[in-house]
Structure 1
Amino acid sequence: MAEKPVWQLSASELVNQIARRETTAEAVVAGTVARMRAENGHLNAVVDDLGDEAIETARNLDTVHDKSGPVGPLHGVPVTIKVNVDQKGKSTTNGVKAFTDIVAPDDAPFVRNLTNAGAIVIGRTNTPEFSFRATTTNELHGRTSNPWNDWASPGGSSGGASAAVMSGMGPIAHGNDIGGSLRFPAAATGAVTVKPGLGRTPAWNPSQKAERGMLAQLMSVQGVICREVRDVRLAMRSAIAYDPHDPWQAPVPFDGPAPEKAVKVGFTTNTYQFEAHPAILQALETARDCLIDAGYEVIEIETPDISEIGETGYRALMGEVNVLMLKDVREHGSSEINRMFDEYFELFPPFRDDELLQQMARRSHFIRQWNLLFERYPLVLCPFLPSPTYAWNRDAEGKDGIMDVLGCGIWSFAMNYMGLPAGIVSPSMYDGMPVAVQVAGKRFREDLILDALEAVETRVGVMAEKLFARDTS
C-alpha cells in the first residue's frame, strides 16, 4: 500500500509522527502548503495565503522541539482560520469589501488556543457577506467551490473551511455557527464537526467596537471542521481553554464521566412540514444501525416540536438583526445580500418590541423540554436537512430557494437557539455526494456526541478517503 502524502494524514497521525521525529513540522507544513497552492486556484477556499510565514513558524517550532519537545498537543499541525475572526495583523473582512481595513490588533481567544497548542495557521478561509448565507460567495473574495462537484454548494457560512479541509489544505479548519455555519458546510462536503454548546469555547474579537446582540451571544459558537472525528476531539480539547473575555464561557473539562451502561439514543426521522428525501431516510437508518452495532440502545421517539423551536429561534434572531445589524447590511452589503435580507424578513418575520422579549423568554421553556428529554436519552439521532446537498447559489434564487436551503433547516436553528451541542457525520452517499445526519446532546457533553459520530465513522469509513480515492483514480 502506497504511503499517504502528508496532506492526507489526520492531525492525530501528524502529531504522533512529529513527536516520534519521523517527520518535522516544517515538512508537514511545507507539504500541506504545496497542496493548498495546487488546489486552491479552482476551489477558492483560502483567500489569504499565509504559507510562507507558516513554514517559517514551523521551522522555529522544530528548533523548540529539538530542545524541549512538542510545545503542545497540536504541535506542527496545519490549520486554517475563517476570515470573520481576529488573527493579529490580518483583516477581519467577514466577506465584506468595506471591512478590509479592519485589521486585528490581536488574536481571538480561539485562534490563540490553537496556536498555543502548537497549531500553525497556513491560511484564512472564505465566508459569505456578513457570514449570513448557507453557501459561500461574496464580491470581495468570490465563490468557493465544493471539492466533490462544482455544481454543489460547499455550505456556509464556513464553506471555505469545509472545502479547505476536505481537499487537503490542513486537517483542522476553524469555523463558527450561529444557525448552522459549521454543520451546513460539514454536511455539504462530508466533513465532520460538532457545534459546541453555549459556554464551551471562547468567543471574542479584539477588533470589535461594540458588543454583539444578546441572541448572537447565546447562539453563536466557535468550533472546528475536520476530516475525521478523532481530529475534532483533538482540536476541541485545546480550543476550549478558558478566556475571561467571554462572559459565557465555563471552564468545564472536555471529557465528562464515562457512561456506566449502554447509552440510550433517541431516534427520529421527523422533518415536520418538509418532505424527507429517501436518501436522508437511508442515511438515518444507516447511522442507527451503526450505533446499534456499536452497543448503543437506539429507541424511536417523538421530540419536543423542533419546527416551532426552529422557526421561533430564527424569527427572534431576525428581530435582533433588524435592530442591530441591518444598518451595516444596507450600507455595506451587495445588492444581492440586501435582496436576500428582504426575503429573509418576509419568510421569517422578525419579532419586534414586546413580542421579541416574550419570545426570548420562551427560550427557557424550549431548553427545559430538551433537558428533560436528555435525562432519558443522552443523545438524539435526527435529520439535519430534509434533502441532500443543494446547488451552490440555490439560496439566492428567490424565496423558494431560501426555503429549500435555509427555511427547512429547523433542526439546525433549533440547536443554536437552545445553546445545545450537535454534531454532523455522513453515513452514506447519494448521486455522488455525501448525505449527513445530526446527533444532538446535552450541554458540555460534546464528547458523547463525538463518541457516537466515531461509532458511525468507524463502520462506514472516513468520507474524505472516498474523495481522495476518486481524485487519484
Structure 2
Amino acid sequence: MSSSDLWRLSATDLTTRTKSGEITARDAVSSALDRMNSVNPELNAVVEDLGAEALARADALDRARDDGESTGPLHGVPVTIKINVDQKGHATSNGVPALKDLIAPDDAPLVANLQSAGAVVIGRTNTPEFSFRADTDNPLHGRTFNPWGRHISPGGSSGGAGSAVMAGIGALAHGNDIGGSLRFPAAANGAVTVKPGLGRVPAWNPSQKAERGMLAQAMSVQGLITRTAADLHLAMPTMIAPDPRDPFHVPLPWRGDHPNGPVKVAFTKNTFEYDLHPEVDAALDAARDALTDAGYDLHEVEPPNVYECGRAGYRALMGEVWTLMKQDIEAYGSDTIRAVFDGYFREFPPFLEKDLLEMMAKRSHYAREWSLFLSKYPLVLTPFLPRPFFGPDRDTEGSNGIHEALGSAVYSYSMNFIGQPAGCIPTRLADLPNGPQPVSVQLVGPRWREDLIVDAMQAIEDRVGTMCLPLWDRMG
C-alpha cells in the first residue's frame, strides 16, 4: 500500500505498522489530512482543520519512538473530536454562534486519554445546535452531508463524526450520545459504534459554567464511531481510563469474564406502532443468521417494553430540558432549532415538577427489569430504527417528521434512560429508489459489558463485511 492510501487502514492495522516502525506517525497523519482535504469540502464533516498542529504532534511522536520511548496503544492514529467537547485552545461552540468564542482552558478527559495513548487529533467535527437533533446542521458551520449521498441525513448529533470516519477522515471519530447521537450517525453512514453504559467513560468539560442536569448526567455518554468493530476493542480501553474530574466514573477493565458456553441472545423484530420496513427486516435476519453461524444461541423472545421505557424517559428528559435549557434555546437558538424543540415538546410532552421527580424515580424500575432479563439473555438483538435512515431535515417537517425521525427511535433512547450499553452495526446495503444506503441493527448488553456487544458485532462483521469498501468504491 502506498503512503497516500494509508487513510484506508483501520486503526488496528495502522497501529501495527506505526508501532513496528514500518511507517511513521507523520505518514499516517499526512495521508488522513490529504484525504480530508480531498473529500471534506463536499461533506463539511470537519469544521476546524487542525492539520498544522497534527503534523507537529506526529513528528514529536516519531522522535520519541526513535529515541526508544514506549509507544501508546493508539500511536499515530488520526482521530477527530466533536465540537461540543473541550480541546484546549479551541472553541467548544456546540454549533451555537453565541458560543463561537468559548475557548476551552483544558482538555476534556477523553481528549486527554486519546492523546496520552498516542492518537493525533486532525480536526473537530460538526454537530447541530446544542447537539440536540438527529440531523447535523447549524448556523455557525452549516450542514454536514452523508458520504453515501445527499439523499440521506448524516444523522446527529455526531453527524460530522460519522460522515468523517466513513469517508476516511481519520480512523477513529469521537462522538457522544444522550438519546442516540452515536448510534444515529453510525446507522446513517454505515459505521460501527457502541454507546457505553453509564459511568464507563469519564466526562467533563472544563469550560462549562455550571453542572448539567441530573438526567443529562445519567443519560449522556462519550464514545467512538469507527469503521470496524475491532477498532472499538483497540480504542475503548483508552477511552475508559480513569480521570478524577469525573467523580462518578467506574474504573473497571474493558474485558470482563469470558462466557462459559454459547452466549444466549434474545431476538425481537417488534417495532410497536411503527411499520417494520422490509429492508430492516432483512437486516435483522442477516444479523441473526451471522450470530447463529458464529455459535451464538438465538431465542425469539420479547425483552422488557422499550416503548414504555423510552417514551417515559424522553418525556422526563424533555422536562429537564424545558426547565434548564429552554431559556437558552430561545435566547441563542435559530428559528430552526426553536421549531424543532417545539416539535419535541409536542411529541414528548414534558414531565414537570412532581411528575418529573416521580419518573426519575421510576427509572430504576425500568433498569431493574432489563437487568433481570439480561441475566437470562446477556445480549439482545433489536431493530435500531424501523425504517432505513431518513433524509436531511426530516425533523423540521412538522409533527410527522419529528415522529419518524425521533419518535420511532424508542430502542435508542430507552437505553440512555436506563444507562445500558448498546451497539449499532450495519448488516445490509439496501438498494432504494434514491440510491444505496446502509441499514443497521442494535445489540444491547449487560452493564459494564460493552466488550460482549463488540464481540458480537465483530462476529456479524466477519460474515457480512464492512460498509466502507462499497462506499469508497462509490465515492471514487
Partner letter of residue 437 of structure 1?
V
**Structure 2: runs of 5 or more not aligned:** none
In the TM superposition, 1:386-401 aligns within 5 A as 386-401=386-401
Q: Deviations over 1:141-181 (max 9, x none)?
A: 00000000112101000000000000010010000000000
Partner letter of residue 264 of structure 1?
K
SS in structure 2 opposite 1:382? strand
Q: Match for 2:442 among 438, 445, 463?
A: 438
In the TM superposition, 1:183-332 aligns within 5 A as 183-332=183-332
Measure how far apart 1:470 and its partner are: 2.4
Alignment partner, residue 382 of structure 1? 382
SS in structure 2 opposite 1:266? strand
In the TM superposition, 1:387-466 aligns within 5 A as 387-430=387-430, 431=432, 432-466=436-470
Alignment partner, residue 155 of structure 2? 155
Alignment partner, residue 349 of structure 1? 349
Whole-Å separation in 2 of the counterparts to 1:264 and 1:456:
15
Measure how far apart 1:303 and its partner are: 1.2
Q: Deviations over 1:365-420 (max 9, x none)?
A: 00000000001000000000000011011111111111111010100010000000
Question: Are the equivalent residues in 1 in contact too, given 2:147–2:475 (CA < 8 A)?
Answer: no
Alignment partner, residue 122 of structure 1? 122
Alignment partner, residue 39 of structure 2? 39
SS in structure 2 opposite 1:369? helix
Whole-Å separation in 2 of the counterparts to 1:471 and 1:294:
32
SS in structure 2 opposite 1:163? helix
TM-score by length of 2: 0.98
Whole-Å separation in 1 of the counterparts to 2:150 and 2:356:
40
SS in structure 1 opposite 2:180? coil
TM-score by length of 1: 0.99
Alignment partner, residue 164 of structure 1? 164
Measure how far apart 1:69 and its partner are: 4.2
| Greater Cα shift, 364-373 or 462-471 | 462-471
Whole-Å separation in 1 of the counterparts to 2:306 and 2:439:
21
Whole-Å separation in 1 of the counterparts to 2:4 and 2:20:
18
In the TM superposition, 1:86-165 aligns within 5 A as 86-165=86-165
Measure how far apart 1:71 and its partner are: 3.0
Q: Deviations over 1:328-366 (max 9, x none)?
A: 101000011111111111111100111101111110000
Question: Are the equivalent residues in 2 in contact too, given 1:19–1:69 (CA < 8 A)?
Answer: no
**Structure 1: runs of 5 or more not aligned:** none
Whole-Å separation in 2 of the counterparts to 1:74 and 1:134:
30
Whole-Å separation in 2 of the counterparts to 1:162 and 1:91:
20
Alignment partner, residue 79 of structure 2? 79
Measure how far apart 1:248 and its partner are: 1.8
Whole-Å separation in 2 of the counterparts to 1:284 and 1:262:
20
Whole-Å separation in 2 of the counterparts to 1:70 and 1:288:
42
Question: Are the equivalent residues in 1 in contact too, given 2:3–2:27 (CA < 8 A)?
Answer: no
Whole-Å separation in 2 of the counterparts to 1:407 and 1:146:
22
Q: Deviations over 1:193-230 (max 9, x none)?
A: 00000010011000011000000000000000000111
Whole-Å separation in 2 of the counterparts to 1:3 and 1:92:
33
Whole-Å separation in 1 of the counterparts to 2:17 and 2:53:
22
Partner letter of residue 392 of structure 1?
P
SS in structure 2 opposite 1:5? helix
Partner letter of residue 55 of structure 1?
L
Partner letter of residue 458 of structure 1?
D
Alignment partner, residue 26 of structure 1? 26
Whole-Å separation in 2 of the counterparts to 1:395 and 1:345:
13
Measure how far apart 1:305 and its partner are: 0.9
Partner letter of residue 22 of structure 2?
E
Question: Are the equivalent residues in 1 in contact too, given 2:3–2:31 (CA < 8 A)?
Answer: no
SS in structure 1 opposite 2:251? coil
Superposed CA RMSD in Å reads 1.1
Whole-Å separation in 1 of the counterparts to 2:37 and 2:4:
18
Question: Are the equivalent residues in 2 in contact too, given 1:144–1:159 (CA < 8 A)?
Answer: yes
Whole-Å separation in 2 of the counterparts to 1:16 and 1:224:
20
Partner letter of residue 102 of structure 1?
L
Question: Are the equivalent residues in 1 in contact too, given 2:415–2:422 (CA < 8 A)?
Answer: yes
Partner letter of residue 11 of structure 2?
A
Measure how far apart 1:247 and its partner are: 2.1
Measure how far apart 1:466 and its partner are: 1.4
Measure how far apart 1:471 and its partner are: 2.6
Q: Number of aligned residue pairs: give it.
A: 472
Measure how far apart 1:3 and its partner are: 9.0
Question: Are the equivalent residues in 2 in contact too, given 1:19–1:70 (CA < 8 A)?
Answer: no
Whole-Å separation in 1 of the counterparts to 2:272 and 2:244:
40
Q: Deviations over 1:82-138 (max 9, x none)?
A: 000000000000000000111000000011000000000000000000000000000
Whole-Å separation in 2 of the counterparts to 1:133 and 1:68:
46
Q: Once the two structures are aligned, what percentage of the paired residues are identical?
A: 57
Measure how far apart 1:70 and its partner are: 4.3
Partner letter of residue 253 of structure 1?
P
SS in structure 1 opposite 2:67? helix
Q: Deviations over 1:309-345 (max 9, x none)?
A: 0100100000000111111101000011111111111
Whole-Å separation in 2 of the counterparts to 1:396 and 1:232:
33
Partner letter of residue 66 of structure 1?
D
Partner letter of residue 457 of structure 2?
L
Measure how far apart 1:140 and its partner are: 0.3
SS in structure 2 opposite 1:209? coil
Partner letter of residue 20 of structure 1?
S
